[in-house]
Structure 1
Amino acid sequence: MKKIILFAAIIVSSVGFSQAKIEFKAVDNTIDYGTVYKGEDSGKRVFEFKNTGDAPLIITNVVSTCGCTVPTKPTQPIMPGKSDKIEVQYNMNPGPIRKTITVETNAANVEGGRVAIKIKGEVLVRAEVNPLEKKKSSPMQ
């Protein structure tokens, strides 16, 4: 009986030390859209990450700072050594892009299991050229 209790204690203690860890591939957990044009870019980007721990990684929630950025998360646990992705869809409103998405996990290597991922850049609108409009010529011609 003592052997069974000792064996159970060893199993429980070794399981207690297993930890999931999340590592994003993007530098500083940020994706830079750069300068993009409305109507020419879908606004979709992908954050790739890997579970570098020795326990399954569970993404419990992914929340954006506003409704203009819609993230989607994996629905299944990510096993140790495996990779997955979080997709982010920005609505491409003209102007600067500065958004933060909070990823809630069971990862032990980030404070409280939460990690911030960010998107940045700028969305421009191309000026429309009317082919019927006369070109302005310089007075020197």
Structure 2
Amino acid sequence: MKYINNLSAALSLLLLVACNNAGNTSNTSATDSTSSSTEVAKANTGNGEVSFAEEAFDFGQITDGEVVDHTFKFKNTGTEPVIISRVSTSCGCTTPEYTSTPVAPNGEGEVKVRFDSHGQSGKQQKIITVVSNAKNNIQTIQLKGEVS
């Protein structure tokens, strides 16, 4: 039940901060929410633990059309390997890439994100949701800043 509540909270957060652009293809939609619940339940089997070095990155002020790239690094502070099963973003303007191989205990992985500010304006907050087999199987990190 705890994991379903976590999933519901994460999905609600994504809906609240979604931008006007069409969503990234890895975003969760209403039609695949059942498969997402199953995926999260299956993913939560390990004793790995994802610890991000930073949970938010402020890119400051940029002009419309600039692209921001940032890499969020994480460490597996648990006792079993961590496998990231999915990374989704709150907006189609933000695309993720991530470590797809298992991250051993004390090993490091990364989530790279690219934010294309074309057509965006004002304050920005892009939520990136990371789903893995770790104890803390749903983690969120964010990009924020302002586009002028």
> Is TM more than 0.5 here?
yes
Once residues 42 and 67 of structure 1 are traced to their aligned partners in structure 2, the CA distance between those partners, rounded to angstroms, is 13
Once residues 18 and 103 of structure 1 are traced to their aligned partners in structure 2, the CA distance between those partners, rounded to angstroms, is 15
Identity of aligned residues (%): 33
Structure with a larger share of its residues in helix: 2
Opposite residue 32 of structure 1, the aligned amino acid is D
Specify which of 106, 109, 115 is matched with residue 139 of structure 2.
Answer: 115
Displacement over 4 Å in runs of 4+: none
Q: How many residues align?
A: 102
Once residues 46 and 113 of structure 2 are traced to their aligned partners in structure 1, the CA distance between those partners, rounded to angstroms, is 30
* Cα deviation digits, residues 87-119 of structure 1 (max 9, x gap): 0100123322111111001111x2xx1011111
Q: How does 1:1-141 map to 2 (within 5 A)?
A: 19-26=47-54, 29-38=55-64, 41-92=66-117, 93-108=120-135, 110=136, 113-124=137-148
For structure 1, the 5+ residue unaligned runs are: 1-16, 125-141
TM (normalized to structure 2)?
0.64
Opposite residue 88 of structure 1, the aligned amino acid is V
Once residues 38 and 46 of structure 1 are traced to their aligned partners in structure 2, the CA distance between those partners, rounded to angstroms, is 21
Q: Quote how far apart the aligned CAs of 1:36 are.
A: 2.1
Once residues 141 and 130 of structure 2 are traced to their aligned partners in structure 1, the CA distance between those partners, rounded to angstroms, is 7
Q: Quote how far apart the aligned CAs of 1:37 are.
A: 2.9
Partner secondary structure for residue 67 of structure 2: coil
Q: Please report the RMSD computed on the Cα atoms of aligned residues, expressed in angstroms.
A: 1.7
TM (normalized to structure 1)?
0.67
Once residues 123 and 78 of structure 1 are traced to their aligned partners in structure 2, the CA distance between those partners, rounded to angstroms, is 35
